[in-house]
Structure 1
Amino acid sequence: MAHYRLDDPALQAELDRLAAEEAAAWPVTDETLAALARILPTANAMADRRNAAIAPAIPAQRRRAA
């Protein structure tokens, strides 16, 4: 597996190549966009609720570790 610096032009070339492969394998249609529009708000709301639920526990965990 190749390793790149973040500012390496070869990294951008590799990302572009991967994006082109994915775009060819998974064309975006109106139906795909409509499905994502339905799914993403729910997923984001679930993540927000999870993050809100665990946020109060984080400082306590850090205190115990110290």
Structure 2
Amino acid sequence: MPEKKDPPWWLTLLKLLIGLIVIVWGTGALLQWAAQFDSEPPKTGTSDWGIARDSPIPSKR
């Protein structure tokens, strides 16, 4: 059986770096593509429900 040689370390490192770049770029491209479909208008800071407008100081009633 012939002896199997490992590729040089720099070739392995280059492949890993290229793979990392492809993953990061692909994720960014996918997020940018998905952001195009976000058509819901941004919400304002006011809310009229729950305890959002309650005073943090309890009343003495």
Give the alignment's TM-score, normalised by structure 1: 0.37
